Amino acid sequence: MPSAPLTVAVVQLSSQDGVAENLHRVTALVAEAARGGAELVALPENFAYMGEEEGKRAIAEDVDEGAGPIVTTLRSAAREHGTWIVAGGMPEASGDRDRPFNTSLLVAPDGRLVARYRKVHLFDVDLADGTKLLESNATRAGDEACATTFTTADGRELGLGMTICYDLRFPELFRRLLDRGVRIVTVPAAFTVTTGKDHWHVLLRARAIENQVFVLAPAQHGRHPRGRTTYGKSLVVDPWGDVIAQAGEGEGVAFARLDFAAQDRVRASLPCIGHRRL
């Protein structure tokens, strides 16, 4: 079983509608995370683009082909800095030009695309502050959970579950990931200020506590095109539910050391996972 702590980083961005500029910031902050010793770096949802839906459709990439600027940048950054990257959410061509997938990728230090998760739960809401968001109008939903593994520099293999933003509100998805042996779950997001201020910390801590996993939640922050404002507060939660790292205001990187021996102690001392009857 894994025991030595693992250094990870969550990246906070304020992405706009210029892909090249956003990717420049991504590259710089991945480099900063790597310099700080992070072996796993997580990027937020919409890291490459936040703007009009037509613009999102235009930049959707064929991930399998892997030749577009977004995937190319991710692979180059992973190779250059020798780190794993969870790329939070990007437009992936789906075969329906009007509705690309919202896809999170796991990229290995050698640039290989190891895993792909297509967001299952789409955010269709009318909020009290007048914000109306209909993600399903311009996004095709995925239909599978994604539990994968990654290998640390010292050769340990760790289970990783991948989700995106609104998935946080569906505990059954996290249970499915737990049943597949994950120790870490990523929740890249672009939470609104309205929901974030009341629910962001509470839900992330709940998912960590009830599944006894580390939760890595990189987020968007600030003002974006189309009048959107996001909450930020990128953070890392441990299996006891403590917030062990949190980003400040604006763009930046927050680091945490994941103590898997402590995770094992939590699971042994409070064995609720083994007590499930349903």
Q: Which of 61, 119, 233, 251 is flagged as catalytic?
A: 119
* Pair 211, 186: CB distance under 8 Å: no
Q: Is 45 a catalytic residue?
A: yes
Instruction: Enter the DSSP assignment of 97.
Output: T
Beta strands (DSSP E) in 135-273 are 146-151, 157-162, 184-186, 214-217, 221-223, 229-231, 235-237, 243-246, 252-258
Q: Is 165 a catalytic residue?
A: yes
Closest CA to 164 of 144, 150, 193: 144
Q: Which of 39, 45, 92, 251 is flagged as catalytic?
A: 45
* Pair 37, 66: CB distance under 8 Å: no
Helices and strands, counts by H and E, the chain: 7, 16
Beta strands (DSSP E) in the chain are 6-12, 40-42, 84-92, 101-107, 113-118, 124-126, 132-134, 146-151, 157-162, 184-186, 214-217, 221-223, 229-231, 235-237, 243-246, 252-258
Residues in the chain: 278
How far is 17 from 225, CA to CA, in rounded Å? 7
Q: Which of 39, 165, 233, 251 is flagged as catalytic?
A: 165
Looking at the annotation, which residues are catalytic? 45, 119, 165
